[in-house]
Chain A
Amino acid sequence: GENVEQHPSTLSVQEGDSAVIKCTYSDSASNYFPWYKQELGKRPQLIIDIRSNVGEKKDQRIAVTLNKTAKHFSLHITETQPEDSAVYFCAASRGFQKLVFGTGTRLLVSP
């Protein structure tokens, strides 16, 4: 089955800096790669996703890149703000099938 690895496990940046979180997946048939932000005690919130027919997607300060050949994808957050502090999870799935999550990255943005 699918296996998703994520790193780093923790990431501390200064406000205004960029943050990058990387994930690798094992199943070459996976074609849907979402990223979730989870605040303490709350449900995961989708922040951006990408499908395998696209190499990059951007939404304001957030971007995701996908390298199908290497089977890795990354989340890029620019101009970080303290409210970006949370745990971020990557995930992978084949179409509408079950999502397999990465281990999570705790992002701390210091003012």
Chain B
Amino acid sequence: GAVVSQHPSWVICKSGTSVKIECRSLDFQATTMFWYRQFPKQSLMLMATSNEGSKATYEQGVEKDKFLINHASLTLSTLTVTSAHPEDSSFYICSASWRTGELFFGEGSRLTVL
């Protein structure tokens, strides 16, 4: 199957700093990538849909100025959490859609904001 790589796998930062998370499709071109957030013991909630070469589409309630998404190439999408605060601490997971419609997930990035 397709491989999606995400890093860093975990990051700890101070409140007010920015954190960038990278998501790469290693063996296929992903025109669309999705970013999810998962709080402890909860489900995966879609944050935004990232399309190569265009602006991301954010879900209702997700601050686009706080969660900056860039999809500069067919194999790379990045999520930057700007001015992070403790309430942003969560598990962030990217995914890319394979041509069959199956979704492949990255390993996830656990963000802890102190």
Contact = CB atoms under 8 A, between A and B. Distances in A.
A99 interface: yes
A103 B43 contact: yes
B89 interface: no
Interface size class of B (residues with CB under 8 A): 20 to 34
Interface in B34-72: 34, 42-46, 49
Nearest to A43: B105
B44 A89 contact: yes
A42 interface: yes
Interface string B84-110: 000000010101010001110111101
Interface residues of A, number: 20
Interface centre among B43, B46, B95 (most CB of A within 10 A): B43
Nearest to B4: A43
A96 B33 CA distance: 11
Contacts of A89: 43-44
Interface of B: 32, 34, 42-46, 49, 91, 93, 95, 97, 101-103, 105-108, 110
Given A42-B107, A98-B49, A101-B43, 7 more contacts: A41-B108, A42-B108, A43-B93, A46-B103, A89-B43, A99-B103, A101-B44
